Chains A and B, each alone.
Chain A
Amino acid sequence: MISSVTSFLASIVGEPMADMILNIVIILIKVAVVVVGTLLHVAYATYWERKVIAHMQLRLGPREVGPFGLFQPFADGIKLFFKEDIIPANSDKPIFYLAPVIFFSSALIALSVLPFFDGFAIANINVGLLFLLAMSSIGAYGIVMAGWSSGSKYSFLGGLRSASQVISYEIAMGLSLVGVMIMAGSLNLTDIVKAQYNYPTGFYAIPQILGFFVFFVAMYAETNRLPFDLPEAESELVAGYFTEYSGFRFAMFFLGEYTGMLIMSSIGTLCFLGGWTLPKFVMEALPFLSRLPNFVWIVVFLAKVYVFMFLFYWIRATLPRYRYDQLMNIGWKLLIPLALVNVVLSGTLKIMGWF
């Protein structure tokens, strides 16, 4: 079918143009699938979070809209969409408009390099991991700009806290992933997963336990989730950097935050838990698994991502918020030295040929 479409296009615009147009169309379809899939996941991530936390606190959670409250995310979305869009009088308006867009789009752009199963990534680039880290830093710009432009002290404090927190923990997160890069010998996420498949344990969380721990803690700080949710500490800063936002602009921050959680979970899955693959010894023990088509493995990938998401909720329901100096101490005095030790150890062992 594709060849007939190509020949039809070639008859109109010529051979080289036809290939390009077809490529673009295929990429656009992929983008649509990924974005829609992610947004649906985000919608139900909020539902799931509310349910899990409610039951952990002996409450019921949403139950009224639809069976078991399953349509609650859509009710919330429609409500936010039709809400009045309030712009504070003393806000810096262009930046105020821009900030949620930057935050949300940086989260969505990061999706483009994630391989969901073998051979499915919108852009299978060689610096995938670096790209993901860069996008999560750009998201911090959105937060800082929102905090600055709102013209409110709460927002400003939230933005400042977020800036320092994200900068501190970005170092730890980047360094924790260096061990994975050393072991896989690549920054391409697909290659990292394939290297893990060929590794005896099947995933890097076992030899890279230090790196995994540092990544795990930094993940919570990067997404501004409890116990490190100081930028949006409800009890002190109303809502932190998005205090002044309402309606759809608020929804963009909200969606961006949950997409960020999904992306961090995906990075953890791809770099430490073997992505869409099961360990090699499992595959050899159950040979029929290797005959399954490629796209089935997205189930394994999503299952691993959901484990991370559940941990996000579980920890949110359990732990109180850290104090700000404690947060900085953990970042600079514990996580960064640990990550550096991990880099040195991994490098040494790699040179000695143990990895």
Chain B
Amino acid sequence: MKNPLIRTLFFTEIFKGMALTFKTLFKHPVTRRYPLVKVPAQPGFRGLHALAKDNTGRMKCVGCGLCGAYCPSQCIHIYTSEGEDHNKVVERYEVDILRCIFCGFCVEACPFGAITLSEHYEYANYTREDFYMTKEKLLANWDTYFEGEKGKRYFKEFWRPMSDDFKGNPEQAMFSKITRKERT
């Protein structure tokens, strides 16, 4: 087989290639038939935004504006006003999804775990307005994607609010994990 003359005469390389393609003929295809068979999002996936509600159903967001300050693409717009007993009222909380790069910095920044990223990734639509998330839409997203056990687990494991545990979860998706890797 080493002899180049024999290699040329009997096309050993062509036959090797043919054997390989024949083997792959019986392998399982890697194609995912996406609209028919949906692949579940990986743990820690950063999808569509949602504004968290607490147990009483009130919005957790206090309107501090840290998320908007952190946001690299500056797609979070917060408008607040002074309420009756001098507390801050979040009037508008808007995320321009078309500008968002889904870095998750807003979630990292939020001290109250008020903004979250869900596992939802299928939000194709026809108009730009559909991608401009208002406060009402973001709160509705919370009800849609963080309802039930799965959402609770997801929220606890990956977007744990800093107000609950200021040390940060060692299994938290973003910075803590990366720094731990760098140390070793």
Could you say which of B27-35, B134-142, B155-163 contacts chain A? B27-35
Q: Residue A58 at the B interface, CB < 8 A? A: yes
Name, among A57, A63, A318, A319, the residue most crowded by chain B CB atoms within 10 Å (CB to CB): A318
B29, A54: Cβ atoms closer than 8 Å: yes
**Residues of A with C-beta under 8 A to B125:** none
Chain A 41-73 per-residue mask, 1 if CB under 8 angstroms from chain B, else 0: 000000000001011111110010000000000
**Residues of B with C-beta under 8 A to A318:** 14, 17-18, 20-21
If the complex has contacts A315-B18, A319-B17, are A58 and B24 also in contact, measured as CB distance less than 8 A? Answer: yes
Q: Residue A195 at the B interface, CB < 8 A? A: no
Place the interface of chain B in its size category: 10 to 19
Nearest chain A CB to B126's CB is how many angstroms away? 24
Q: Residue B22 at the A interface, CB < 8 A? A: yes
Nearest chain B CB to A54's CB is how many angstroms away? 7
A52, B25: Cβ atoms closer than 8 Å: yes
A314, B22: Cβ atoms closer than 8 Å: yes
Place the interface of chain A in its size category: 10 to 19
**Residues of B with C-beta under 8 A to A39:** none
A75 to B17, CA, bound (A): 33
Q: Residue A138 at the B interface, CB < 8 A? A: no
B33, A56: Cβ atoms closer than 8 Å: no
Q: Residue A101 at the B interface, CB < 8 A? A: no
Question: Which one of B14, B18, B22, B24 contacts A57 once the chains associate, using CB atoms below 8 Å?
Answer: B24
Chain B 128-155 per-residue mask, 1 if CB under 8 angstroms from chain A, else 0: 0000000000000000000000000000
Tell me what chain A mostly uses at the interface: helix, strand, loop, or mixed. helix
Nearest chain B CB to A72's CB is how many angstroms away? 15
If the complex has contacts A58-B27, A319-B14, are A314 and B21 also in contact, measured as CB distance less than 8 A? Answer: yes
Q: Residue A9 at the B interface, CB < 8 A? A: no
**Residues of A with C-beta under 8 A to B18:** 314-315, 318
A318 to B14, CA, bound (A): 8
A180 to B65, CA, bound (A): 87
In this complex, what residue of A is CB-closest to B23?
A56
In this complex, what residue of A is CB-closest to B19?
A318
Question: Which one of B24, B28, B30, B31 contacts A56 once the chains associate, using CB atoms below 8 Å?
Answer: B24
A60, B25: Cβ atoms closer than 8 Å: no
A59, B29: Cβ atoms closer than 8 Å: yes
**Residues of A with C-beta under 8 A to B28:** 58
A56 to B29, CA, bound (A): 9
B17, A60: Cβ atoms closer than 8 Å: no
A63, B22: Cβ atoms closer than 8 Å: no
**Residues of B with C-beta under 8 A to A58:** 24, 27-31
Question: Which one of B14, B17, B29, B33 contacts A55 once the chains associate, using CB atoms below 8 Å?
Answer: B29
Q: Which 8 residue pairs of A and B lie closest in terms of their CB atoms, listed nearest first?
A: A60-B31, A318-B21, A56-B21, A318-B17, A58-B30, A60-B29, A317-B21, A58-B29
Show 21 A/B contacts (Cβ-Cβ < 8 Å), sorted by A.
A52-B25, A54-B29, A55-B25, A55-B26, A55-B27, A56-B22, A56-B24, A57-B24, A58-B24, A58-B30, A58-B31, A59-B29, A59-B31, A60-B33, A63-B33, A314-B21, A314-B22, A317-B21, A318-B18, A318-B20, A319-B17
Known: A52-B25, A56-B21. 8 other contacts (CB 8 A): A57-B24, A58-B28, A58-B30, A59-B30, A59-B31, A63-B33, A314-B18, A318-B20
